[in-house]
Amino acid sequence: GLCLRHVSSKRRHAATSHQQRRLLNQFISKAPLQDDTPDTQPPFPPFTLAVKDNIATQSLPTTCASSFLNAYHSPFEATIVTQLRSRGACLVGKTNLDEFGMGSHSTHSAFGAVSQTLPNEGGEEYSAGGSSGGSAVAVAAGEADVALGTDTGGSVRLPAAYTGVVGFKPSYGMLSRHGVVPYANSLDTVGLLARGVKEIRELVVGGGLWLEHDPRDPTSLSEAARARCASVRKGYAGVDGGKPEEVLRGLKFGIPLEYNVEELDPRIRDAWAAAAAALQKLGARIVPVSLPTTRHALSAYYIIAPAEASSNLAKYDGVRYGSRASDTDAGSSDAADGGVLYAASRGRSFGSEVQRRILLGAYTLSSEAMDNYFIKAQKIRRLVRRDFDRAFALANPLQGEPEPFDLSDLSEDILMENKLGPVGVDFLLCPTAPTLAPKLEDVVGAEGQSPVNAYVNDVFTVPASLAGLPAVSIPVRVAAEGGHKDVANTAGLQLIGQYWDDARLLAAAGAVM
C-alpha cells in the first residue's frame, strides 16, 4: 500500500544521489517489501527503518551478529520498534554490527565485516565505523530514511562520523531499551541515525518519543522524573527550530581543550575550528572549556563496559540461551558436568573480541583486582560527570546536592578552573573521532589494528556515555588529502548537551548543520 509506493520512490531518489557509493554487507536480514505495512496515523508520514540486529523484531531474527544467536527469533518486539512503527516506520531489514555491540569498525561480526566504498576512491573499502556500522551504511546508501543503533560508548556516533550521516545518542534512560540486547547496562542507549537532523528531531521531539516512559524497562525514567527534568528546562523551550541565526543567537558553545589531542587528524582540527568560526558569525559565543578528567575516561570506560558485559553474557551457556556445542565439541562423555558444556559452547560461539571483553571483565571484577580497577573506574566516572556539570550553564537534573569537597580531588587543572570560575556553556563542540574512516584492510585481520588501537577511536565519544549525556554527531566536509580535490571526505563533529537537554541539542544541531 502506501508504504510500498513511498519506499520505491525514496529508493529511486536515493540511488541517484548516492550512485557512486558501493556499500557492502550492511544487512543481516532483509524484510520482503510487501511484508510490512505501517499502521500510521496522521500526522506521521511513512518512512523506511533499518534496525540494528541487537534490537528485537518479530518478523526477522535477532542475531546480535553472534554465532550464539544465529537462528534466534525473539518472541516479542522491542518497544522502540513498536513506537516507531506506530509513527510510520516500515521495517526494511536488520543491520550488521560488531558482535553484541563490541567494537568500533563493525568487523567483529559472525556475518562478516561491514564496509563502505567512498566515492572516487577507486573501489577501496573503508571502515563503516562500529558497532552500528550496518545501520549507518543503510542510511548513507538511502536504503533507509532512519536507522536504529545502540550507543554504549559511541556506537551510533562513530559510524555516523565515518559514513557522513547524523547519529544521535539520547540522554541515558530517555528512550526505551526493552527488547534491546544488553551490552553494558549502565551505559547502553538506543540511538537514531538519519541523513539529516530533521528526521530525528521529528520523531524524538515532535513525535513525543522522549516523553514516553516504558514500564518494561527498569532504566526508563519515570513520569515523575521526566516532569522534574523538564521543569529544569523551563524558559529554554524557545529553541524550536527556525532560522539558524534565531536558534544560535546567544547560545554559548564550549570548546573542550583536552579534546585537541596530538593524534587528531589536522583536517578534522581545521573543520572543528571552521565550525566554531561559523557559529560565531551566526551570533553564538565560543569559549574554551577544560574537562580535565577526559584523559582518564577511555580507560575507565574499557574497565566498566567489559565488567558489565562479562556479567550480562553469563547467560549464554548453551542451555537456556544460545546455540549448544555438540557432545563431540564438548570433548567429554560427561557433558552432564555443566562446566564442560558451557565452556565448549562459549568457546566455540563467541567471537574473539567478545571473549577478550569477558576475560577483561571477569578479571577486573575479581577480588584481587576489584579495588585497583573497577572501583577506581567508578571514581573516574564520577569525576567525568562533575567536569561536565561544571561546564554547563544548566544544572544536571539528576544531581542532588553538590558533592562534598574532597581535598584528594584537587589537581592543578581543577584549581585553575576554579580560579577561572564557571564557564556556563549551553553545548560542547568537539570532534566525534580523532581520524577519518580508516581503510578496512588496516583494521581487520592479523596485520590490522591491535585491540588497544581500536579502542582509541572511542576517545571522544565515551565521556558523554559515562556521564549519560545526550550527544549528536553531524557530518562536516574536510579538505581532501594531497590534491585529490574530488575525494569526498567527511568527518563528524559532536555536540554534547546537559542531561535531558536533548530537544535543545537537536535544535542546535539542526542549525549548525
- Residue 24, helix vs strand vs coil: strand
Minimal distance, residue 157 CB to ligand GLN, in Å: 8
379 annotated active-site: no
Minimal distance, residue 226 CB to ligand GLN, in Å: 24
Per annotation, catalytic residue among 155, 171, 290, 349:
155
Minimal distance, residue 364 CB to ligand GLN, in Å: 14
The reply on whether position 101 binds ligand GLN by CB under 6 A is yes
Q: How far is CA 338 from each of CA 68, 343, 359, 362, 454, rounded to the nearest angstrom?
A: 17, 8, 20, 19, 35
- Residue 357, helix vs strand vs coil: helix
How many residues contact ligand GLN, by CB under 6 A? 14
C-alpha cell at 456: 582509541
Q: Which amino acid is it at 237?
A: A
In terms of CB distance, is 48 or 465 closer to ligand GLN?
A: 465
In terms of CB distance, is 154 or 170 closer to ligand GLN?
A: 154
Write each residue from 276 to 315 as x if it is in contact with ligand GLN (CB under 6 A), else as -, in one continuous string: -----------------------------x----------
**Rounded Cα–Cα distance for residues 487 and 475 (Å):** 15
The residue sitting closest to ligand GLN, measured at its beta carbon, is: 155
Query: How many Cβ atoms are within 10 Å of 282's Cβ, its own excluded?
Result: 17
**Rounded Cα–Cα distance for residues 101 and 96 (Å):** 10
Rounded to 10 degrees, what is the CA torsion of 236, 240, 241, 243? Answer: -70
In terms of CB distance, is 134 or 154 closer to ligand GLN?
A: 154
Per annotation, catalytic residue among 67, 115, 127, 131:
131
The reply on whether position 104 binds ligand GLN by CB under 6 A is yes
The reply on whether position 99 binds ligand GLN by CB under 6 A is no
**Rounded Cα–Cα distance for residues 157 and 458 (Å):** 10
Q: Are β-strands 490-497 and 471-477 bridged in parallel, bridged antiparallel, or unpaired?
A: antiparallel
Query: How many Cβ atoms are within 10 Å of 186's Cβ, its own excluded?
Result: 17
Contact 101, 54 (CB under 8 A): yes
Per annotation, catalytic residue among 10, 52, 94, 169:
52
In terms of CB distance, is 57 or 131 closer to ligand GLN?
A: 131
367 annotated active-site: no
Owner of C-alpha cell 530517555: 174
The reply on whether position 63 binds ligand GLN by CB under 6 A is no
Range 124-183, binding ligand GLN (CB under 6 A): 131, 150-155, 183
Range 426-465, binding ligand GLN (CB under 6 A): 458
Contact 427, 495 (CB under 8 A): yes
Range 306-365, binding ligand GLN (CB under 6 A): none
Span from 11-19, 79-87, 97-105, 268-276 in contact with ligand GLN (CB under 6 A): 97-105
Minimal distance, residue 249 CB to ligand GLN, in Å: 34
Minimal distance, residue 371 CB to ligand GLN, in Å: 23
222 annotated active-site: no
Range 216-235, binding ligand GLN (CB under 6 A): none
Nearest CA-CA partner of 209 in 90, 383, 44: 44
In terms of CB distance, is 48 or 54 closer to ligand GLN?
A: 54
Concatenated DSSP letters for 421-455? ----BSEEEEESSSSSPPBGGGTSSTTS--HHHHH
In terms of CB distance, is 183 or 460 closer to ligand GLN?
A: 183
C-alpha cell at 28: 543481516
Contact 210, 497 (CB under 8 A): no
The reply on whether position 469 binds ligand GLN by CB under 6 A is no
**Rounded Cα–Cα distance for residues 181 and 347 (Å):** 20
Owner of C-alpha cell 555491540: 101
Minimal distance, residue 151 CB to ligand GLN, in Å: 5
Phi, psi for residue 277 in degrees, rounded to 5: -65, -40
Range 370-429, binding ligand GLN (CB under 6 A): none
Contact 92, 49 (CB under 8 A): yes
Note the residues at the interface with ligand GLN (CB under 6 A): 101-104, 131, 150-155, 183, 305, 458
Residues designated as active site: 52, 131, 155
